[in-house]
Amino acid sequence: MSAFVSFAAVVALVLLAILGVKGAGLTGLFGVAIPYAALAIFIVGFLARIVKWGRVPVPFRIPTTCGQQKSLPWIKQNKIENPSGTLGVLARMFLEVFFFRSLFRNLKGELREGPKIAYGSDKWLWMAGLAFHWTFLIILIRHLRFFIFNVPPAVGLVERLDSFLQIGAPLLYITDVVFLAAVLFLLIRRFYIPQVKYISLAADYFPLFLILGIGCSGVLMRYFLKVNVVGVKNLTMGLATFNPVVPQGLGTIFYVHLFLISVLFAYFPFSKLMHSGGVFLSPTRNLSNNSRIVRHINPWNYPVHVHTYEEYENDFREKMKAAGIPVEKE
Protein backbone atom coordinates (compact mmCIF):
# COMPACT_ATOMS: atom_id res chain seq x y z
CA MET A 1 0.00 0.00 0.00
CA SER A 2 2.82 2.40 0.88
CA ALA A 3 4.54 1.67 -2.43
CA PHE A 4 1.34 2.29 -4.40
CA VAL A 5 0.70 5.59 -2.62
CA SER A 6 4.27 6.74 -3.27
CA PHE A 7 4.11 5.73 -6.94
CA ALA A 8 0.75 7.46 -7.35
CA ALA A 9 2.17 10.61 -5.76
CA VAL A 10 5.05 10.75 -8.25
CA VAL A 11 2.68 10.11 -11.17
CA ALA A 12 0.46 12.93 -9.89
CA LEU A 13 3.47 15.25 -9.79
CA VAL A 14 4.32 14.39 -13.40
CA LEU A 15 0.74 15.00 -14.52
CA LEU A 16 0.67 18.26 -12.58
CA ALA A 17 3.72 19.51 -14.45
CA ILE A 18 2.31 18.41 -17.83
CA LEU A 19 -1.05 20.04 -17.22
CA GLY A 20 0.50 23.16 -15.78
CA VAL A 21 2.87 23.72 -18.68
CA LYS A 22 1.11 22.22 -21.68
CA GLY A 23 -2.45 22.89 -20.56
CA ALA A 24 -2.26 26.17 -18.66
CA GLY A 25 0.99 27.53 -20.08
CA LEU A 26 2.48 28.24 -16.63
CA THR A 27 6.07 28.12 -17.82
CA GLY A 28 7.11 30.95 -15.53
CA LEU A 29 5.72 29.16 -12.48
CA PHE A 30 7.36 25.82 -13.24
CA GLY A 31 10.53 27.29 -14.74
CA VAL A 32 11.30 30.08 -12.26
CA ALA A 33 9.05 30.41 -9.19
CA ILE A 34 8.97 26.75 -8.12
CA PRO A 35 12.74 26.15 -8.56
CA TYR A 36 13.55 29.27 -6.51
CA ALA A 37 11.07 28.28 -3.80
CA ALA A 38 12.43 24.72 -3.69
CA LEU A 39 16.01 25.96 -3.40
CA ALA A 40 15.07 28.32 -0.56
CA ILE A 41 13.27 25.51 1.30
CA PHE A 42 16.26 23.23 0.77
CA ILE A 43 18.83 25.72 2.10
CA VAL A 44 16.78 26.87 5.10
CA GLY A 45 15.58 23.36 5.97
CA PHE A 46 19.04 21.81 5.59
CA LEU A 47 20.73 24.43 7.76
CA ALA A 48 17.95 24.29 10.36
CA ARG A 49 18.34 20.53 10.82
CA ILE A 50 22.13 20.75 10.93
CA VAL A 51 21.97 23.47 13.58
CA LYS A 52 19.38 21.48 15.56
CA TRP A 53 21.54 18.36 15.52
CA GLY A 54 24.69 20.35 16.27
CA ARG A 55 23.15 21.87 19.41
CA VAL A 56 22.37 18.48 20.94
CA PRO A 57 24.96 17.83 23.70
CA VAL A 58 26.84 14.55 23.69
CA PRO A 59 28.09 14.01 27.26
CA PHE A 60 29.57 10.56 26.66
CA ARG A 61 31.71 8.89 24.04
CA ILE A 62 29.38 6.52 22.20
CA PRO A 63 31.19 5.53 18.97
CA THR A 64 30.09 2.33 17.30
CA THR A 65 33.13 0.09 17.22
CA CYS A 66 33.95 -3.38 15.94
CA GLY A 67 37.67 -3.62 16.56
CA GLN A 68 40.24 -3.75 19.35
CA GLN A 69 40.33 -0.64 21.52
CA LYS A 70 43.65 0.97 22.48
CA SER A 71 44.81 -0.95 25.50
CA LEU A 72 48.07 -2.54 26.60
CA PRO A 73 51.18 -1.87 24.47
CA TRP A 74 51.47 -5.47 23.21
CA ILE A 75 47.81 -5.66 22.11
CA LYS A 76 47.37 -4.40 18.54
CA GLN A 77 44.74 -1.69 18.22
CA ASN A 78 42.39 -1.34 15.24
CA LYS A 79 43.00 2.36 14.63
CA ILE A 80 40.22 2.78 12.07
CA GLU A 81 37.42 0.65 13.52
CA ASN A 82 38.19 1.77 17.07
CA PRO A 83 40.04 5.09 16.81
CA SER A 84 41.53 6.70 19.89
CA GLY A 85 42.59 9.94 18.21
CA THR A 86 41.49 12.53 15.67
CA LEU A 87 43.49 11.04 12.79
CA GLY A 88 41.77 7.69 13.17
CA VAL A 89 38.35 9.37 13.27
CA LEU A 90 39.13 11.30 10.07
CA ALA A 91 40.22 8.11 8.31
CA ARG A 92 37.13 6.28 9.50
CA MET A 93 34.81 9.12 8.39
CA PHE A 94 36.53 9.32 5.00
CA LEU A 95 36.06 5.62 4.33
CA GLU A 96 32.48 5.78 5.58
CA VAL A 97 31.43 8.81 3.53
CA PHE A 98 33.15 7.93 0.26
CA PHE A 99 33.21 4.12 0.32
CA PHE A 100 30.45 3.05 2.79
CA ARG A 101 32.84 0.98 4.87
CA SER A 102 30.25 -0.11 7.42
CA LEU A 103 27.83 -1.20 4.68
CA PHE A 104 30.64 -3.20 3.04
CA ARG A 105 30.60 -5.50 6.06
CA ASN A 106 26.87 -6.07 5.71
CA LEU A 107 25.89 -9.62 6.65
CA LYS A 108 22.84 -11.65 5.68
CA GLY A 109 21.26 -13.88 8.30
CA GLU A 110 19.29 -16.98 7.36
CA LEU A 111 17.41 -19.48 9.51
CA ARG A 112 18.21 -23.02 8.35
CA GLU A 113 17.23 -26.51 9.42
CA GLY A 114 18.09 -27.38 12.95
CA PRO A 115 17.01 -24.64 13.57
CA LYS A 116 20.32 -22.91 13.01
CA ILE A 117 21.03 -19.34 12.06
CA ALA A 118 23.75 -18.80 9.48
CA TYR A 119 25.44 -15.57 8.48
CA GLY A 120 27.00 -14.79 5.13
CA SER A 121 28.44 -11.87 3.25
CA ASP A 122 25.98 -9.73 1.30
CA LYS A 123 27.71 -7.14 -0.90
CA TRP A 124 24.89 -6.38 -3.35
CA LEU A 125 23.39 -3.61 -1.23
CA TRP A 126 26.83 -2.08 -0.74
CA MET A 127 27.58 -2.12 -4.47
CA ALA A 128 24.19 -0.67 -5.40
CA GLY A 129 24.42 2.05 -2.77
CA LEU A 130 27.94 2.97 -3.80
CA ALA A 131 27.01 3.01 -7.49
CA PHE A 132 23.92 5.12 -6.84
CA HIS A 133 25.66 7.79 -4.77
CA TRP A 134 28.76 8.07 -6.94
CA THR A 135 26.85 8.24 -10.22
CA PHE A 136 24.47 10.79 -8.69
CA LEU A 137 27.49 12.93 -7.77
CA ILE A 138 29.02 12.62 -11.25
CA ILE A 139 25.70 13.54 -12.88
CA LEU A 140 25.48 16.63 -10.67
CA ILE A 141 29.03 17.60 -11.69
CA ARG A 142 28.14 17.13 -15.37
CA HIS A 143 25.11 19.40 -14.95
CA LEU A 144 27.34 22.26 -13.78
CA ARG A 145 27.91 23.13 -17.44
CA PHE A 146 24.35 24.46 -17.54
CA PHE A 147 24.99 26.91 -14.69
CA ILE A 148 28.51 28.15 -15.56
CA PHE A 149 29.27 30.27 -18.60
CA ASN A 150 32.89 29.12 -18.96
CA VAL A 151 32.81 25.41 -18.22
CA PRO A 152 35.82 24.39 -16.04
CA PRO A 153 38.21 21.86 -17.60
CA ALA A 154 37.50 19.46 -14.73
CA VAL A 155 33.81 19.25 -15.72
CA GLY A 156 34.78 18.60 -19.34
CA LEU A 157 37.17 15.85 -18.22
CA VAL A 158 34.40 14.20 -16.20
CA GLU A 159 32.13 14.27 -19.25
CA ARG A 160 34.79 12.74 -21.52
CA LEU A 161 35.55 9.97 -19.05
CA ASP A 162 31.84 9.30 -18.55
CA SER A 163 31.26 8.88 -22.29
CA PHE A 164 34.53 7.26 -23.34
CA LEU A 165 32.71 4.27 -24.84
CA GLN A 166 31.24 6.60 -27.50
CA ILE A 167 28.14 4.52 -28.15
CA GLY A 168 25.68 6.19 -30.54
CA ALA A 169 24.90 9.85 -30.99
CA PRO A 170 24.49 11.61 -28.67
CA LEU A 171 27.19 9.94 -26.62
CA LEU A 172 25.95 7.47 -24.05
CA TYR A 173 26.92 8.38 -20.53
CA ILE A 174 27.90 5.35 -18.44
CA THR A 175 26.56 6.98 -15.29
CA ASP A 176 23.06 7.24 -16.79
CA VAL A 177 22.87 3.46 -17.20
CA VAL A 178 24.47 2.65 -13.84
CA PHE A 179 22.34 5.23 -12.03
CA LEU A 180 19.04 3.83 -13.31
CA ALA A 181 20.18 0.25 -12.64
CA ALA A 182 21.18 1.11 -9.06
CA VAL A 183 17.89 2.89 -8.31
CA LEU A 184 15.90 -0.01 -9.75
CA PHE A 185 17.88 -2.47 -7.63
CA LEU A 186 17.24 -0.46 -4.44
CA LEU A 187 13.56 -0.25 -5.32
CA ILE A 188 13.10 -3.91 -6.31
CA ARG A 189 14.96 -4.94 -3.16
CA ARG A 190 12.18 -3.42 -1.06
CA PHE A 191 9.61 -5.55 -2.90
CA TYR A 192 11.64 -8.76 -3.12
CA ILE A 193 13.08 -9.18 0.39
CA PRO A 194 10.20 -9.86 2.85
CA GLN A 195 12.01 -8.43 5.89
CA VAL A 196 12.80 -5.17 4.08
CA LYS A 197 9.30 -4.96 2.60
CA TYR A 198 7.77 -5.38 6.05
CA ILE A 199 9.57 -2.35 7.51
CA SER A 200 9.33 -0.15 4.39
CA LEU A 201 7.11 2.92 4.63
CA ALA A 202 5.98 5.55 2.15
CA ALA A 203 8.96 7.64 3.27
CA ASP A 204 11.20 4.85 1.92
CA TYR A 205 9.43 4.34 -1.41
CA PHE A 206 8.67 7.95 -2.34
CA PRO A 207 12.30 9.17 -2.68
CA LEU A 208 13.17 6.15 -4.83
CA PHE A 209 10.21 6.65 -7.16
CA LEU A 210 10.93 10.38 -7.30
CA ILE A 211 14.62 9.88 -8.12
CA LEU A 212 13.69 7.22 -10.65
CA GLY A 213 11.29 9.71 -12.28
CA ILE A 214 14.08 12.30 -12.42
CA GLY A 215 16.43 9.81 -14.02
CA CYS A 216 13.90 8.56 -16.57
CA SER A 217 12.85 12.08 -17.58
CA GLY A 218 16.51 13.05 -17.97
CA VAL A 219 17.24 10.01 -20.15
CA LEU A 220 14.15 10.68 -22.28
CA MET A 221 15.20 14.28 -22.69
CA ARG A 222 18.75 13.42 -23.76
CA TYR A 223 18.31 10.36 -25.94
CA PHE A 224 14.72 10.31 -27.21
CA LEU A 225 12.69 13.52 -26.82
CA LYS A 226 14.94 16.32 -27.97
CA VAL A 227 14.89 19.69 -26.22
CA ASN A 228 16.32 23.09 -27.00
CA VAL A 229 19.69 22.82 -25.24
CA VAL A 230 20.54 26.47 -25.92
CA GLY A 231 17.22 27.51 -24.38
CA VAL A 232 17.85 25.29 -21.36
CA LYS A 233 21.28 26.91 -20.93
CA ASN A 234 19.73 30.37 -21.09
CA LEU A 235 17.12 29.47 -18.48
CA THR A 236 19.58 27.87 -16.05
CA MET A 237 22.09 30.70 -16.46
CA GLY A 238 19.30 33.17 -15.76
CA LEU A 239 18.33 31.25 -12.63
CA ALA A 240 21.95 31.14 -11.46
CA THR A 241 22.45 34.89 -11.99
CA PHE A 242 19.02 35.81 -10.54
CA ASN A 243 17.98 37.23 -13.90
CA PRO A 244 15.58 34.53 -15.06
CA VAL A 245 14.28 34.45 -18.62
CA VAL A 246 11.98 31.68 -19.86
CA PRO A 247 12.79 30.88 -23.52
CA GLN A 248 10.20 29.45 -25.85
CA GLY A 249 10.14 25.86 -27.06
CA LEU A 250 11.91 24.13 -24.19
CA GLY A 251 9.56 21.17 -24.29
CA THR A 252 7.21 19.77 -21.68
CA ILE A 253 9.59 16.96 -20.70
CA PHE A 254 12.12 19.56 -19.54
CA TYR A 255 9.60 21.17 -17.20
CA VAL A 256 8.64 17.74 -15.85
CA HIS A 257 12.31 17.05 -15.17
CA LEU A 258 12.85 20.43 -13.53
CA PHE A 259 9.69 20.13 -11.43
CA LEU A 260 10.64 16.70 -10.09
CA ILE A 261 14.09 18.03 -9.18
CA SER A 262 12.45 20.96 -7.39
CA VAL A 263 10.22 18.58 -5.43
CA LEU A 264 13.29 16.53 -4.46
CA PHE A 265 15.09 19.66 -3.24
CA ALA A 266 12.09 20.81 -1.20
CA TYR A 267 11.49 17.32 0.21
CA PHE A 268 15.16 16.66 1.03
CA PRO A 269 15.49 18.42 4.45
CA PHE A 270 12.40 16.67 5.82
CA SER A 271 13.25 13.15 4.69
CA LYS A 272 15.66 10.33 5.39
CA LEU A 273 17.85 11.75 2.63
CA MET A 274 19.27 14.09 5.29
CA HIS A 275 21.64 11.28 6.23
CA SER A 276 24.02 12.98 3.80
CA GLY A 277 24.45 15.78 6.33
CA GLY A 278 23.70 13.85 9.48
CA VAL A 279 26.54 11.37 9.01
CA PHE A 280 29.03 14.11 9.88
CA LEU A 281 27.21 14.87 13.15
CA SER A 282 26.66 11.30 14.25
CA PRO A 283 28.39 10.70 17.60
CA THR A 284 28.59 7.00 16.77
CA ARG A 285 30.96 7.90 13.93
CA ASN A 286 32.67 11.23 14.62
CA LEU A 287 33.97 10.51 18.14
CA SER A 288 37.17 8.79 19.18
CA ASN A 289 36.90 5.94 21.63
CA ASN A 290 39.26 7.15 24.36
CA SER A 291 37.22 6.18 27.40
CA ARG A 292 40.23 4.34 28.87
CA ILE A 293 42.43 7.41 28.43
CA VAL A 294 40.15 10.30 29.37
CA ARG A 295 37.49 10.25 32.06
CA HIS A 296 34.20 11.59 30.74
CA ILE A 297 31.82 13.06 33.30
CA ASN A 298 28.18 13.65 32.42
CA PRO A 299 27.54 17.41 32.90
CA TRP A 300 23.84 16.67 33.43
CA ASN A 301 24.42 14.61 36.58
CA TYR A 302 22.90 16.23 39.66
CA PRO A 303 25.46 16.34 42.50
CA VAL A 304 24.58 13.61 44.97
CA HIS A 305 26.43 11.94 47.82
CA VAL A 306 28.21 8.81 46.60
CA HIS A 307 28.44 5.85 48.97
CA THR A 308 32.08 4.89 48.53
CA TYR A 309 33.45 1.39 48.98
CA GLU A 310 35.30 2.52 52.10
CA GLU A 311 32.01 3.65 53.64
CA TYR A 312 30.33 0.44 52.49
CA GLU A 313 33.02 -1.67 54.12
CA ASN A 314 32.78 0.30 57.33
CA ASP A 315 29.06 -0.39 57.44
CA PHE A 316 29.26 -4.11 56.68
CA ARG A 317 32.81 -5.16 57.65
CA GLU A 318 31.80 -7.60 60.36
CA LYS A 319 29.14 -9.22 58.21
CA MET A 320 31.59 -9.47 55.29
CA LYS A 321 34.18 -11.15 57.51
CA ALA A 322 31.55 -13.53 58.85
CA ALA A 323 30.60 -14.47 55.30
CA GLY A 324 34.23 -15.01 54.32
CA ILE A 325 34.41 -11.97 52.03
CA PRO A 326 37.91 -10.38 52.04
CA VAL A 327 38.10 -6.85 53.38
CA GLU A 328 40.72 -4.14 52.95
CA LYS A 329 40.81 -3.15 56.60
CA GLU A 330 40.71 -5.59 59.49
Looking at residue 174, which CATH number applies to its domain?
1.20.950.20
Contact 69, 289 (CB under 8 A): yes
Query: Based on the structure, what is the number of domains in the chain?
Result: 1
Is position 330 within any domain? no
pLDDT 10s digits, 144-157: 989 888 888 888 88
Residue 207 has pLDDT above 90, yes or no: yes
Least confident window among 32-36, 91-95, 160-164, 175-179: 160-164
pLDDT band at 168 (very low <50, low <70, confident <90, very high): low
**107 φ, ψ (degrees, to nearest 5):** -115, 150
- Which of helix, strand or coil describes residue 74? coil
Please give the residue that has the higher pLDDT: either 291 or 208. Answer: 208
Q: Is the pLDDT of residue 138 over 70?
A: yes
- Give the model's pLDDT for residue 195: 85
Residue 51 lies in a domain: yes
Mean pLDDT of 161-174: 80
pLDDT in the model for residue 24: 87
Whether 2 shows a pLDDT value over 90: the answer reads: no
Round the average pLDDT of the chain to a whole number and report it: 89
Does 249 have pLDDT greater than 90?
Answer: no
Cα distances (angstroms) measured from residue 171 to each of 45, 78, 136, 271: 37, 46, 18, 34
The residue length of the chain stands at 330
**What's the pLDDT at 45?**
96
Query: Is the confidence at residue 28, as pLDDT, over 80?
Result: yes
Residues 6 or more apart in contact with residue 107 via CB below 8 angstroms: 119, 120, 121, 122
Which amino acid makes up residue 218? G
Please state, in angstroms and rounded to a whole number, the distance separating the CA atoms of residues 146 and 37.
Answer: 19
Give which of 83, 79, 80 is closest to 61, Cα–Cα. Answer: 83
According to the model, what pLDDT value does residue 211 have? 96
pLDDT of amino acid 91: 93
pLDDT at 306 over 70: yes
Note whether residue 284 is domain-resident.
yes
Average pLDDT over residues 85-105: 91
- DSSP annotation of 274 reads G
The verdict on residue 181 lying in a domain is yes
Confidence of residue 114 (pLDDT cuts 50, 70, 90): confident
Q: How many CB atoms lie within 10 A of CB 275?
A: 9
Examine residue 329 and state whether it is found in any structural domain, yes or no.
Answer: no
Q: What is the pLDDT of residues 33-60, one digit of tens each?
A: 999 999 999 999 999 999 999 998 887 8
Question: First vs last Cα of the chain: how many Å apart?
Answer: 72
Out of 113-117, 159-163, 264-268, pick the least confident. 113-117
Predicted TM-score (pTM) of this structure:
0.86
123 found inside a domain: yes
Domain that holds residue 71: 2-322
327 domain-assigned: no
> Span 271-281, mean pLDDT?
91
